[in-house]
């Protein structure tokens, strides 16, 4: 897919301290996850390669939380607690952006599937392609 | 008496809910405000319930926004949104984020959409006092 197939979309946390942009196609694959962390934060994953994500504002306001293998870097706004994006364990070469934090939901179609994160080891490989630069 | 226990992801904030009636009869709401949506919150409250929130000292981020009438209780360590609380008439009331503390008994429920945009300040306070759960909040090392 060529660069022009993507449109940069803006989003951020609740207090406005953290802002990001993510380049999304017209049809966006997203995942909810039933693992202990995602269930508690209500995260809706849009996983993208490094080149399709940028922090616009507030990197210094991000608090980092890790647990278990400590590979995933869970990032949230220290002011309002919102987790707008993070480095997922399944895709440490890319980013997972929270679809709930996008400013607008018009202009693209969000297709949400359930990811069984309670059985992460058996399922995570199925997500690896999402952060490849030329997927 | 039935007690439902839960905690934020890292365990710094624990909650105990005495539902006061069968959990199936308690509401489960998905508030559509910008804060609740971003946290994926699904909340419950009931005047016949009782809520006890125990936070490890230093773990509470008390976030206020909008009219600043309510404190949203967030975990400083893991970011999880636990509850929103209000002090009125010398009492504390709260609505509990079931998702944030993974409380048992609500697993198969689909939250009802809740939109409060058209309320006046007075209506909002009256609704919260009538519907939210009488709550005790303590900052202490978790006992369990």
Model pLDDT, residue A4: 65
Is residue B65's pLDDT more than 60? yes
Q: Which of A42, A65, A76 sits opposite B99 (nearest CB)?
A: A42
What percentage of chain B carries pLDDT values higher than 70? 98
Average pLDDT of chain A is 94
Q: Which of A1-10, A78-87, B52-61, B87-96 has the lowest mean pLDDT?
A: A1-10
Beta-sheet pairing, A74-77 with A62-65: antiparallel
| DSSP assignment letter at B110 | P
What is the C-alpha to C-alpha distance for residues A15 and A32, in angstroms, rounded to an integer?
Answer: 24
In terms of Cβ atoms closer than 10 Å to its own Cβ (0-12, 13-18, 19+), residue A63 is middle
Is residue B144's pLDDT more than 80? no
A84-120 pLDDT, tens digit each:
999 999 999 999 999 999 999 899 999 999 999 999 9
A116 touching chain B per CB within 8 A: no
Work out the average pLDDT over A18-29: 97
Q: Which residue of A has its CA nearest to B63?
A: A80
Model pLDDT, residue B29: 98
- A36: which chain B residues are within 8 Å (Cβ-Cβ)? 9, 102
Model pLDDT, residue B69: 92
Q: Do A40 and B9 touch (CB under 8 A)?
A: yes
Tell me the pTM. Answer: 0.95
In terms of Cβ atoms closer than 10 Å to its own Cβ (0-12, 13-18, 19+), residue B36 is buried
Model pLDDT, residue A119: 93
Model pLDDT, residue A2: 53
Model pLDDT, residue B143: 61
Q: Which of A15, A65, A101 sits opposite B79 (nearest CB)?
A: A65
CB-CB neighbours of A103 under 10 Å: 11
ipTM: 0.94
Task: Kindly report the nearest CA distance between residue A116 and chain B, in angstroms.
Answer: 15
What is the C-alpha to C-alpha distance for residues A7 and A28, in angstroms, rounded to an integer?
Answer: 11
Chain B contact probe: residue of A17, A19, A39, A80 with most B CBs at under 10 A = A80
- Secondary structure (DSSP) of A71-128: -SBEEEETTT----EEB-SS-TTEEEEEGGGBS--TTSEEEEEEE-GGGHHHHGGGGG
- Under the banding of pLDDT at 50, 70 and 90, the label for residue B21 is very high
Work out the average pLDDT over B32-49: 98
Is residue B1's pLDDT more than 90? no
Q: Do B38 and A100 touch (CB under 8 A)?
A: yes
Model pLDDT, residue A105: 86
Model pLDDT, residue A15: 98
B102-119 pLDDT, tens digit each:
999 998 899 999 999 999
- Under the banding of pLDDT at 50, 70 and 90, the label for residue A129 is very high
- Under the banding of pLDDT at 50, 70 and 90, the label for residue A134 is confident
Model pLDDT, residue B107: 87
């Amino acid at each position: 897919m060529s660069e022009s197939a993507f449109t940069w979309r803006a989003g951020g946390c609740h207090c406005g301290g953290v802002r990001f942009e993510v380049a999304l196609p017209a049809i966006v694959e997203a995942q909810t996850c039933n693992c202990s962390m995602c269930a508690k934060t209500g995260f809706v994953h849009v996983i993208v390669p490094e080149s399709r994500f940028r922090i616009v504002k507030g990197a210094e306001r991000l608090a980092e939380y890790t647990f278990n293998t400590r590979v995933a870097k869970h990032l949230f706004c220290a002011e309002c607690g919102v987790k707008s994006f993070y480095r997922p364990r399944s895709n440490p070469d890319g980013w997972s952006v929270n679809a709930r934090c996008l400013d607008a939901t018009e202009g693209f179609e969000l297709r949400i599937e359930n990811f069984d994160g309670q059985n992460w080891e058996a399922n995570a490989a199925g997500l690896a392609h999402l952060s490849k630069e030329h997927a | 008496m039935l007690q439902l226990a839960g905690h934020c992801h890292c365990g710094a904030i624990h909650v105990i809910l005495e539902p006061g009636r069968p959990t199936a009869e308690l509401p489960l709401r998905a508030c559509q405000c910008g804060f609740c949506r971003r946290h994926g919150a699904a909340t419950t409250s009931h005047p016949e319930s009782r809520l006890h929130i125990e936070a490890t000292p230093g773990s509470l981020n008390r976030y206020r926004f909008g009219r600043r009438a309510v404190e949203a209780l967030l975990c400083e360590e893991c970011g999880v949104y636990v509850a929103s609380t209000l002090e009125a008439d010398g009492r504390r009331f709260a609505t509990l984020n079931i998702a944030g503390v993974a409380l048992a008994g609500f697993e198969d429920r689909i939250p009802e959409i809740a939109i409060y945009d058209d309320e006046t300040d007075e209506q909002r306070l009256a609704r919260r006092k009538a519907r939210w759960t009488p709550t005790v909040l303590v900052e202490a090392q978790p006992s369990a």
